Amino acid sequence: MNVHESDEAICARGGWAPDFKTRPSAPPIYQTTAFDMHGLEQLDSVAAGVEPGYIYTRDGNPNHEAFARDVARLEGAEAGVVCASGMGAMTATLLAHVRSGDHVVAARVLYGRTVQLLNHLKSAFGVDVTFVDANHPAEFARALTPQTKLAIVETISNPLMEVADLPAIVSALGSVPLLVDSTFATPCLLRPIEQGAKLVFHSASKYLNGHGDVMLGVVVGPRDIIRKIKGLASLYGVNSNPLECWLASRGLRTLPLRMERVSQTAAHIAEFLTRQPAVARVYYPGLANHPSHPQARQYLSHGFGGMLAFELHGGRPAVATFFRELAEQIPFSPTLADARSTLSYPTGTSHKFMTADERRSYGIGDGLVRLSIGLEAPADLERELSAALAKLSGTSGS
């Protein structure tokens, strides 16, 4: 220690405990902008990828690396990159694949902001986009042009929980790479790369973190494409930050337990809802009458997930009453995959960008409610939903 250091130097250079050899039991948060270099040779060899290490956090940080690497391993991918949000990861991924004049084929029912992002690329940069019905894989083949650089689909779609037939879509696409938004399924239920997809995307703000307190996105796939996406994420500044990645790594530790639990509870609640007079229809891929049930049985081998939707008799007024009754127990919150159960209203949030006619043509009615199942005991949810549904008999149109 330098005993002659000024107060200013002690403060400016402070914050360090003496070096120690014992390893912390939990990973540290590398809350740092940059990494000190031992010299010019080290800078060159780290920058060239010859020596492992980090230089500047926008380009890479151990907390980014730890989280992205674990997600890549879970998905069976070579590499991964984590960005500031799902939309950040989607932006960097699209920019890595298309330029003006190129073409993208996308499922018509995608996360609302993804559709908006594709439309923005079209109007601002001349990237052509064709939206197709993901329930008919042949539509992907019909939409292909020589300029098609990427196709996009969700494993379990929002809000009607349709399950994509990924092998059929992959074979319809030929050599065009498929990007799969697997936010609703997670690698615990389905691994799209095993089904032939090239890249897998997650809004890690949802299940991967699973505690409703982080914004992150992650993409995994072949090493060369991920390197390109990572470079663009840094260039456009959509990189993640160390604390968010550290939190997401902590959340990820319980992912398999959480997915098993929410799948069991959701299956129970879906059955319960089908018996309620105030409920017109329930959308859960585990129910035998769901249009995607055959694909769900085939591809979702470890449970049907924690997301379900149902249509209330009585439309929007019934939804308003239902949300008011449940506000203290199952809040109306425009997210999903929190530890607690939450409700959402697709007509007013994720699918607000559609006209009422478009929504109706997809089967999204004004009484449609989306329920993200949390970690409460099934009996809690059943009791609370029953009480709220009982208040609807007055508004029931049936």
CB of 262 to ligand PLP, least distance (A): 15
Cα distance between residue 129 and residue 200, in whole Å: 20
Show the site string, 137-166: x = touches ligand PLP by CB under 6 A, - = not: -----------------x---x--------
Residue whose CB is less far from ligand PLP, 202 or 313:
202
Closest distance of CB 120 from ligand PLP, Å = 15
Contact flags string 328-357 toward ligand PLP, x per CB under 6 A: ------------------------------
Give me the amino acid identity at 208.
L
Measured from the CB atom, the residue of 113 and 136 that comes closer to ligand PLP is 113
86 vs 177, beta carbon nearer ligand PLP: 86
Member of 80, 86, 137, 306 binding ligand PLP (CB under 6 A)? 86
CA atoms within 13 A on the CB side of 30: 22
The residue with its CB nearest to ligand PLP is 86
User: Pseudo-torsion of CA 133, 80, 92, 251, nearest 10°?
Assistant: 80
Tell the smallest beta-carbon distance from residue 107 to ligand PLP (Å): 11
Contact characters 41-80, ligand PLP, x per CB under 6 A: ----------------------------------------
Give the C-alpha separation, 161 to 296, whole Å.
Answer: 10
Q: How far apart are CA 24 and CA 30, in angstroms?
A: 13
Q: How far is the CB of 14 from ligand PLP (least distance, A)?
A: 36
Among 57, 183, 209, 295, binds ligand PLP (CB under 6 A): 183
Q: Tell me the window of 108-116, 190-198, 316-324, 373-381 that interacts with ligand PLP (CB under 6 A).
A: 108-116
CA–CA distance, 285 with 196 (Å, rounded to integer)? 22
- Taking the least distance from each CB to ligand PLP, the nearer of 139 and 181 is 181
Tell me which stretch binds ligand PLP (CB under 6 A): 84-92, 245-253, 263-271, 305-313. Answer: 84-92
Q: Are 333 and 343 in contact (CB under 8 A)?
A: yes
Full DSSP string of 219-284: EEE-HHHHHHHHHHHHHTT-B--HHHHHHHHHHHTTHHHHHHHHHHHHHHHHHHHHT-TTEEEEE-
- The residue among 42 and 349 lying less far from ligand PLP, judged by its C-beta, is 349
- Are the beta carbons of 333 and 282 closer than 8 angstroms? no
DSSP structure class, residue 84: S
Is there a contact between 67 and 252 (Cβ–Cβ < 8 Å)?
Answer: yes
The binding track of 186-225 with respect to ligand PLP, each residue x by CB under 6 A or -, is -----------------x-xx--------x-x--------
Which amino acid, 130?
T
Quick check: helix, strand or coil at residue 107? Answer: strand
Q: How many residues bind ligand PLP (CB under 6 A)?
A: 15
Closer residue to ligand PLP, CB minimum distance, 219 or 392: 219
Phi then psi dihedrals of residue 375, to 5 deg: -100, 10
204-231 burial by CB neighbour count: b if 16+ within 10 A, else e? bbbbbbbebebbbbbbbbeeebbebbbe
Token pair in block for residue 371? 């329920």
Rank residues 134 and 278 by Cβ distance to ligand PLP and give the closer one: 134
Output the six-digit token pair for 41: 């040779």
Lookup result for tokens 């995307």 = 201
Minimum gap (Å) between residue 46 Cβ and ligand PLP: 30
Task: Provide, rounded to whole angstroms, the least separation between the CB of residue 174 and ligand PLP.
Answer: 25
Residue closer to ligand PLP, measured from CB, 209 or 263: 209
Contact 239, 84 (CB under 8 A): yes
- Of 66, 79, 82, 87, the one binding ligand PLP (CB under 6 A) is 87
Question: Which residue lies nearer to ligand PLP by CB, 238 or 388?
Answer: 238
Give the HSE-up count for residue 192: Cα atoms under 13 Å, Cβ half-sphere. Answer: 33
**Residues that bind ligand PLP in the complex, under the rule CB under 6 A:** 85-87, 111, 113-114, 154, 158, 181, 183, 203, 205-206, 215, 217
